[in-house]
Amino acid sequence: MRILCLLTLCLWAGAVAAQTTDASLPKRHMVAAAHPLAAQAGREMLRRGGSAMDAAVATQMVLALVEPQSSGIGGGAVMLYFDKASGAVHAFDGRETAPAAITPDVFLDAEGKPKYFFDAVTDGRSVGVPGVVRMLARAHEKHGRLPWRDLFAPAIRLAEDGFAVTARFHESVRRDKYLARDPTARAYFYAPDGSAWPVGHKLKNPALADTLRRLAEDGADALHTGPIAADIVAAAKARGGILSLADLAGYQAQERGVLCRPYRAWRVCTMPPPTSGGIATLQILGILDSFDLAALAPGSAEAVHLISEASRLAYADRARYVADTDFIDVPISGLLDRGYLRERARRIALDWSMGRAEAGTPGTRKGEALGDGVSADLPSTSHFSVVDGDGNAVAMTTTVENRFGSRIMVRGFLLNNQLTDFSFLPEIDGRPIANRAAPGKRPRSSMSPTLVFDGDGRLYLTVGSPGGSRIITYVVQTLIAVLDWGLDMQAAIVLPRHVNRNGVTELEDGTALADIAEALRAKGQTVELRKIVSGLHGIRVTPAGLDGGADPRREGVALGD
């Protein structure tokens, strides 16, 4: 890992040195995604005259095959779509929903204590109603150009012909302790001797090819009704699940009001709840608007301290207030009010950490009796960004929650464990938790797909990342790197990562950030060096062309013409 991180640092140094308006940048369109085959599938649709939405569908279907540890048709997603013709940004919510039979204490043991996380993950009760296919179908109906069935062709072809197992795929399977417990998953992911298929092995998934063919012909209903739905329910129930056919049939993807706020000279747009990522991202940026970050060096102790302190404040509010707005009155306007954020910024001292931050009282929400929820929100997600030839754009973050989700495999794909994103404790000291489980409720997420526009309303940036609750800080740091420090997309993505979720300040091990650890400790920060694996994928729109970036910590690429 240290070699990889040092390589990351070298890539960063090279990328920073290469800041240019390169005349060779792609001019027409681009896809940046976590696997080359997925990016190729999206680009294939763009080359055929498809929209950014068409490319998004094709990209996701290939990711379901080649990166099943991160996302797939058994999971959920959130997406921003920029329609260049109208200038509108649309926010699509394909987050999973809880079954009708769920109760707030679903993840408590017989003594009323939270279950061990992986006991909950691999229990069928962790499976939420998948949402990604219905979300894509709804968005494609409005913004697609190519026929729906055509968008599945690359994934079907790869599933039938096979794809080469990559190092990340192999390591994810090899290291997992729970995947082989499912007989269907064991037969697919492992060789007959029980070892993970080696790097380069040609892996075929005829079951997924059949499922995708049904989706291509019959639309999203093929997943939510009929034989596939029946198999999903049966597989979850065999592991103790409570999912029903009615839950699947009744699922609806939502289009929600996008959140946009100014940051310096820019307008930053992101997702509303049930994800907390959008609010927290905008809060951190709004707090930092009071400080001159452009005067600080990337990776300096001063910059890391400021970003960490702003993050503490946003994560404190996130834990207290943010959940599914169909169930909870989230004070969005108050949390993003410029006066409130300036007041929060005044809590930051340049020379000393505030330690653990307390939630504020935004707007009229004075003294509401809510407890601070805690959920694991562990990283195993994917993000991709698309810009098409007409200037339309997608920022989509997609997930099955934990690595390989619930580890329950059905018809060639894995079911999510998204319901473990609810707070395991429904209340603390008699105060209810906003993010407690309830029938039909969407669990809180940290996904933060983001679009940035310049002062004239022109698209400038599409970006996002996987990483569980760390997603927020990954995205914020990348936005700061581009908007404040003027880095190009790749240089911003490769920057060494640091994270503070209202606790320890985590620094990416093996990078130059290790050199500032003592300076941060001198400011009262508790510091930990650790492996940090973001998966940022973004595209910057410049006069010279499309400037794409893919995180070297994973296997992604940015492909364009």
Point out the residues that are catalytic.
Answer: 381
Answer for the pair 491, 464: CB distance below 8 angstroms, yes or no: no
Closest CA to 52 of 36, 75, 31, 77: 31
Residue 457 in tokens: 């309303």
Torsion region of 271: left, alpha or beta (phi above 0 gives left; psi -120 to 50 gives alpha): beta
- Angstrom CA distances, 506 to 142, 227, 445, 553, stand at 42, 46, 21, 17
Dump the DSSP string for 126-156. Answer: GPPBP-HHHHHHHHHHHH--S-GGGGGHHHH
Q: What is the number of other CB atoms lying within 10 angstroms of the CB of residue 197?
A: 17
Residue corresponding to tokens 């997930």: 399
Beta bridge partners of 505: 500, 527
279/271 Cα distance (integer angstroms): 8
Beta bridge partners of 108: 114
How many residues make up the chain in this entry? Answer: 561
Answer for the pair 486, 19: CB distance below 8 angstroms, yes or no: yes
Number of helical H runs and strand E runs in the chain: 19, 22
Q: What residue spans of 401-534 are helical by DSSP H?
A: 471-483, 489-494, 517-521
283/239 Cα distance (integer angstroms): 40
Contacts of 110 (CB under 8 A, 6+ apart): none
Q: What is the number of other CB atoms lying within 10 angstroms of the CB of residue 427?
A: 16
69/403 Cα distance (integer angstroms): 5
Dump the DSSP string for 309-338. Answer: HHHHHHHHHHHHH-S-TTTS---HHHHT-H
Q: Is the dihedral of CA 216, 220, 225, 231 positive or negative?
A: positive
Task: Output phi, psi for 552, to 5 deg.
Answer: -70, -10
- Say whether 276 sits in a helix, a strand or coil: coil
The amino acid occupying position 303 is A
- Say whether 266 sits in a helix, a strand or coil: strand
- Angstrom CA distances, 182 to 116, 122, 187, 413, stand at 19, 10, 9, 12
Dump the DSSP string for 50-71. Answer: --HHHHHHHHHHHHHHH-TTT-
Q: Exposed, middle or buried: residue 245 (CB in 10 Å: 0-12, 13-18, 19+)?
A: middle
Answer for the pair 264, 455: CB distance below 8 angstroms, yes or no: no
